[in-house]
Structure 1
Amino acid sequence: MDITEEYEDVLQNLEFPIMDFYHQHRVLEDWEVKRALEATIEHYRAEYSKREPKNMHLSDAEDIIMQRLITVCEWRLGRVELDKVIAITRDFAYQFDPENFIKTSEELQKCLKRIIKSVERWSREGGRQGYLTFTSQYFPQR
C-alpha cells in the first residue's frame, strides 16, 4: 500500500497546521516549510538518540510551524490531548481512524519525509510557493 493511502489521515493532520499558517501568512515559501519539516524530524531523531536536537537556526515562521508540527506529532503519539492540537489551529476537524490512531515516531518521520518530497516536487513545478499553492486546494480557507 502506498504511504499516501496508508497514512492519509496522518499526512492530512500534519499538513493542516502548515496550511493554516500559510493562510495567515501568504508570504511563506516552500523552502521555509521544508526547513520546519526537517527540524521536526531532527527533534524526533534527537529524542530517539537521547540527545538535544541540533540547532537548525530557524526563522520565527519556521519555528512556529515546527512547534505546531511537534504538537500534532505528540497527539498522534498519544502524549497530548486533541484540545492542545485544536488550540494551535482554527476551524478544522481533525480526521483520524480511532482503531489505528497511535503512531510510532518512525511512522511520523516517514510521513514528514513524504511531505518533504511533496514540497520538493511542487516547488520544482510551481516555483517558490508551488507546494503551498497546490496543497491549499485541499485545505480551503474559512
Structure 2
Amino acid sequence: MAFEDDYLDALQNIEAAIVGVYRTRPELVDYDVDVVLAALVKGYQAEQRQREKPALRLTELRQELYDAVGAMCEWRLGRTEFIDPKTDQPMPGPPQLTIDEILACLKRIRTSVKRWTKDGGRQGYLTFIDKFIV
C-alpha cells in the first residue's frame, strides 16, 4: 500500500490547514508553504534529538500558516484538542501519530508542493489542493 493511502487522513488534515490560510490570505504562494513546512520539519527533528527548536524569523503570513499547520500536527500527535465551535466541547481526536509519521507527512507534502509548483507556477500547489478540500 502506498504512503498516501496509509496516511491519507493526516495528509488531508495538514493540507486542510494550508488551504484554510490560503482561502483567507490569497497572496500566499507555494514558496511560503515550502518555507513553513521546512521550518516544521526542522523543529520536529530538533525535538527528536532533544535539542532546542531553531529560532524562526517568519513574515506575518508565514507565521499564520506555521501556527495553523503546527496546530494540526500537534493535534495529530495527540498533544492538543480542537474545540467544536457548535458545542464548545473537545472534538474526539484521530489515532495518534508519532513524530516520525508527522515528519514523513510533512516531507511528502513538501514533495507535492515542489511538483505542483513546477507544473503550475507560483500557486500551482495551492490551486491544485484547493479543489479537493471542502
Partner Cα distance (1:15, 1:122) in 2: 14
Aligned match of 2:128: 134
Amino acid at match of 2:123: Q
Moved over 3 A (4+): none
State how far apart, in whole Å, the 2-side matches of 1:19 and 1:106 are. Answer: 24
Kindly indicate whether structure 1 or structure 2 has the higher relative contact order, using CA contacts under 8 Å at least 6 residues apart.
1
Distance 2:13 2:63 in 1: 18
Mapped partners of 1:72, 1:27: distance in 2: 22
Identity of aligned residues (%): 38
| Partner SS state of residue 57, structure 2 | coil
* Offset, 1:56: 4.0
| Deviations 1:8-64, CA, capped at 9 Å, x for gaps | 000001111110100011111000001111111111111112222223422111112
Residue 90 of structure 1 aligns with which residue? none
TM norm structure 1:
0.83
- Write the deviation string for residues 57-87 of structure 1: whole angstroms up to 9, x where unpaired: 221111121122121111111111122xx67
RMSD of Structure 2 on Structure 1 (CA): 1.8
Between the aligned partners of 1:58 and 1:3, the Cα distance in structure 2 is 30
TM-score (structure 2 length as normaliser): 0.88
In 1, the alpha carbon distance for the partners of 2:55 and 2:78 equals 26
Paired positions, count = 128
**SS in structure 1 opposite 2:54?**
coil
Distance 1:59 1:38 in 2: 15
Gaps of at least 5 residues in structure 2 are 86-90
Which structure dedicates a bigger proportion of its chain to helix?
1
Mean alpha-carbon deviation: is it higher for 69-78 or for 127-136?
A: 69-78
Structure 1 residues not aligned, in runs of 5+ = 88-93
